[in-house]
Amino acid sequence: MMTQRPDGRDPARRRPGRAFALGLMLTAAATTTTTTAASATAATPPRHGTPNFGANVTVFDPGMPVEEIQATLDATHAAQVDNEMGTQRYSFLFKPGTYGTAANPLQIKVGYYTEIAGLGASPTDVVINGKVEVYNRCLADEGTGNCLALVNFWRTLSNLSINIDAAGQDDCRASANFWAVSQAVSMRRLDITGGGLSLMDYCTAGPQYASGGFIADSRLPATTNGSQQQWLTRNSEVESWSNGVWNQVFAGVVGAPDDAGFPVPPYTTLDTTPVSREKPYLFLDARGRYNVRVPAARTNTRGVSWADGPTPGRTVPIADFFVAKPSDSVRDINKQLARGRHLLLTPGVYDIARSIEVKRPDTVVLGLGHATLTAAKGSVPLDVADVPGVVIAGVTIDAGLQKSPVLLRVGTKHGHGHSSAPNPTTLSDVYFRVGGPHVGKADTALEVNSDDVLIDHTWVWRADHGVEGFTDTERWNTNIGRYGAVINGDHVTATGLFVEHFQRYNTVWNGDDGTTILYQNELPYDPPTQADWMNGDVEGWAGYKVGDRVRTHTLYGAGVYVFNQNNPAIHTENGFEVPEARGVRLHHIMTVNLSAGTIDHVVNGLGDPADTTRIGAPVYVADYPAP
């Protein structure tokens, strides 16, 4: 029988390992850096209310020599390019103006836990003449072998213009601006001109697979998706788009490709985005004062939010924020929140032994440079009340050594579900980890109990690799993560939901009238035996479960992948499980085998097996139920 959750409701890589599996398919195609600019910003008394962001936030001025800016960025990239599980965090902010020239372009390379952002009211207020790039990461042979983008996580690019200038780069590198990334990487509020954008790096050891990403509110040139397995582009404009691997989704994108030929090519295109709210951003006003723009929620939108003037929303002065550092106690943070202040988390790792409590409507919690909250003593690091309009953005939440019941809870279980459709509580670029940098234990990573919540890009990850030194069997019994995302609220929308490797259902959607636009899931690599991977008398747990009582639900563009490298004999009965209800509709879904294990069916017993006879070849179901 099907296992139910304790509340009585229906429950619904190693990355180098995946790189090896996917490599079979490719037949063609930490030290802290202290910078002069950061020190000056932190130490000099502010002229216009500039807060003390700390030493890991660097604010650049267009009057600074390009060579100085380049040296600062190069030094941080050198420290961060391989620092996948490190604790250093950085944010580089550019005041309005132009950086780099045709003769001396600014070539920015972005490593782990690094944010590059403009401080303009519009993306066109900050112009980079040059490039902002991510290349394949080489893991062997002294930096020349096993080059891939499958582990290029945790970096942010936003609110600026890039005039692509490849002066000084070799012929291959000069061919495009490379952004070869995977999960927990976002591009927002960008205006890119002067050349092409490639979402893969085909210059480092030839084309290699990348594992997914997210673009929103951006104006893009001709874009080559290339080897990206899955991707969501939302509310943007694109000159053209080429290539794709498994599921590429477009929502409210001017110039998006037609999806009539699905699955060749594997595009899913929505003319508008049903519910959207852009991520808050820092900006300087005309008098040089720092503010945070908090965009308004919108419905049925298409194109960028800034085409005809400022992004609709409200402006909050920085003085209304408590600017926190990792040394600040949760007690002090909660006192400031209780007084009605918003919260800005500067880069770093925060040990959270009691919940940060967000109780007031319209509170903004904004993280810079992948600020990370780590659970201690089994805490719930972030707890949001049943109130409307709360925005949590740019925050990573890690499980700790003692098991937490939840890492982020929105609303009270069995509560009144108060939020607001016109003003939904919103999670933007909020990421979760169970294991990886250290042992992690959590029953559930993300639990949404409130109604009318918007999840706009999240990666919910139970680590398939890390620095713990475990075998896969040891990881299964040590890094405990039962459920990834559990959605109990009604009218919840997710745009860009990435959930991986949890030990039961990766996503359980119990609320009614839910919508997901792009879902990406890998089942866990590490169940030791079939007995460890059983849901009652059913073999395995579906990657996406819609609760049996749900009567309305819509899913667009989704994939569940299997790579049971610890025991290739393991079976999972269905990639997706949903109730047989007229209002439950799945559009463009698939399963795929990455070289080990079997998913017997795509959804509810329908669809051929994704097994080792068709490695890398998806099994698609265009619509369920069939029209």
DSSP per-residue codes, 542-560: -SEEE-TT--EEEEEEEEE
- Tell me what pLDDT residue 143 has: 66
- Token pair 């607001």: residue: 420
Annotation: CATH topology of 61-272: Pectate Lyase C-like (2.160.20)
Q: Which residues of 601-610 are buried (b: 16+ CB within 10 A; e: fewer)?
A: bbbbeebebb
- Tell me what pLDDT residue 416 has: 67
- Residue closest to 382 by CA, chosen among 323, 438, 448, 328: 448
- Residue closest to 602 by CA, chosen among 570, 547, 548, 560: 560
What's the token pair of residue 620? 């698609």
- Residue closest to 225 by CA, chosen among 264, 197, 185: 197
- Residue closest to 153 by CA, chosen among 193, 120, 110, 94: 110
Contact of 267 with 285, CB cutoff 8 Å: no
The rounded distance, in Å, linking the Cα atoms of 292 and 294 is 6
Q: Which helix (H) or strand (E) holds 126?
A: strand 126-133
The rounded distance, in Å, linking the Cα atoms of 255 and 379 is 46
Q: How many residues does the chain have?
A: 627
The rounded distance, in Å, linking the Cα atoms of 91 and 24 is 37
- Tell me what pLDDT residue 333 has: 98
Residue ranges of the chain with per-residue pLDDT less than 50: 1-48
- Who contacts 23 (Cβ-Cβ below 8 Å, separation ≥6)? 148, 208, 209
Predicted structure pTM score: 0.92
How buried is 339 (Cβ within 10 angstroms: 0-12 exposed, 13-18 middle, 19+ buried)?
exposed
- Tell me what pLDDT residue 438 has: 95
Residue span(s) of the chain under CATH 2.160.20.10 come to 61-272, 370-624
Q: What is the pLDDT of residues 271-306, one digit of tens each?
A: 999 999 999 999 999 999 999 999 999 999 999 999
| Crossing angle of helices 36-43 and 66-80, rounded to 10° | 100
- Residue closest to 283 by CA, chosen among 275, 273, 274, 293: 293
Grouping H, G, I as helix, E, B as strand and the rest as coil, residue 73 is helix
Grouping H, G, I as helix, E, B as strand and the rest as coil, residue 319 is helix
Cβ count near 417 (within 10 Å): 18
Work out whether strand 298-301 and strand 273-276 pair parallel, antiparallel, or are unpaired. antiparallel
| Residue numbers annotated as active site | 522
- Tell me what pLDDT residue 142 has: 63
What is the architecture of the domain spanning 370-624? 3 Solenoid (2.160)
- Tell me what pLDDT residue 35 has: 37
- Token pair 């636009």: residue: 517
Q: What is the pLDDT of residues 182-231, one digit of tens each?
A: 999 999 999 999 999 999 999 988 778 888 899 999 999 999 998 899 99
Contact of 211 with 229, CB cutoff 8 Å: yes
- Tell me what pLDDT residue 47 has: 41
What's the token pair of residue 371? 């600020």
Contact of 237 with 253, CB cutoff 8 Å: yes
Work out whether strand 538-539 and strand 534-535 pair parallel, antiparallel, or are unpaired. antiparallel
Strands (E), 235-363: 237-242, 247-251, 267-270, 273-276, 281-284, 290-295, 298-301, 313-317, 321-324, 342-345, 349-352, 356-358
**How many helices (H) and strands (E) would you count in the chain?**
5, 46
Alpha carbon of residue 186 to chain centroid: 6
The rounded distance, in Å, linking the Cα atoms of 480 and 128 is 43
Alpha carbon separation from 308 to 228, 304, 311, 411, 426 (Å, rounded): 32, 9, 8, 36, 24
The rounded distance, in Å, linking the Cα atoms of 229 and 452 is 30
- Residue closest to 210 by CA, chosen among 137, 150, 135: 150
Kindly report the three-state secondary structure assignment for every residue of 161-207.
EEEECCCCCCCCHHHCEEECCCCCEEEEEEEEECCCEECCCCCCCCC
